[in-house]
């Protein structure tokens, strides 16, 4: 029976929930597994480490504290921008997720938390910052990878 080790490519289904039971993400709702190279560090550390040792067909439930997940909210990630920075016909709504460009030209993601006639207050924290979260993980497939595949750089 194959067991997940660092360096394996795996396919998983997962469902993420808040402690209230509210679902914030579910791969099955998209009808597609998530492919992961285990040990590469592209996932939350606790989520990725939970994959190691799993076998095909196994389901595991894990809980991550806010600190283990997306950390506490950062007050410095809440900024005020001029309303004029948005398109003229933009419809403002509290809770609306928006995308823009940061000073370095990189994409910037935020949530509108308030607005006035002149300004918009944007929260750039991850939407799950400050929240304890749970995952149900199902190991669908484990592929063996060669050492050269594991050590390639991007």
Residues of the chain with pLDDT > 70: what percent?
93
Whether 5 and 38 have beta carbons less than 8 Å apart is answered as yes
Sign of CA dihedral 139, 145, 149, 151: positive
Find the mean pLDDT for residues 88-95. 96
List domains and CATH numbers for the chain. Answer: 9-70+130-147 (3.10.50.40), 75-123 (2.40.10.330)
| pLDDT reported for residue 145 | 61
Question: What pLDDT, on a 0 to 100 scale, did the predictor assign at position 52?
Answer: 97
Q: What is the pTM of this model?
A: 0.81
In this predicted structure, the answer to whether residue 153 has a pLDDT above a threshold of 70 is no
What is the residue-averaged pLDDT of the chain?
92
Q: What tens digit of pLDDT does each residue of 37-83 get?
A: 999 999 999 999 999 999 999 999 999 999 999 999 999 999 999 99
Q: Is 34 a residue whose pLDDT tops 50? A: yes
Listed residue (146, 67, 151, 81) closest to 114, CA to CA = 81
Over range 101-120, report the average pLDDT: 91
């Amino acid at each position: 029976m194959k067991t997940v080790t660092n360096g394996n490519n795996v396919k998983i289904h997962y469902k993420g929930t808040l402690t209230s039971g509210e679902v914030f993400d579910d791969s099955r709702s998209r009808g597609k597994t998530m492919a992961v190279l285990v040990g590469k560090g592209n996932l939350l550390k606790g989520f990725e480490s939970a994959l190691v040792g799993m076998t095909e067909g196994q389901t595991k439930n894990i809980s991550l504290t806010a600190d283990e997940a997306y950390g506490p909210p950062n007050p410095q990630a809440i900024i005020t921008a001029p309303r004029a920075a948005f398109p003229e016909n933009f419809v403002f709504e509290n809770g609306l997720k928006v995308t823009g460009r940061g000073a370095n030209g990189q994409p910037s993601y935020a949530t509108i938390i308030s607005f006035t006639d002149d300004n918009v207050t944007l929260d750039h924290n991850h939407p799950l910052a400050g929240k304890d979260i749970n995952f149900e993980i199902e190991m669908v497939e484990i592929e063996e990878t060669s050492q050269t595949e594991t050590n390639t750089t991007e």
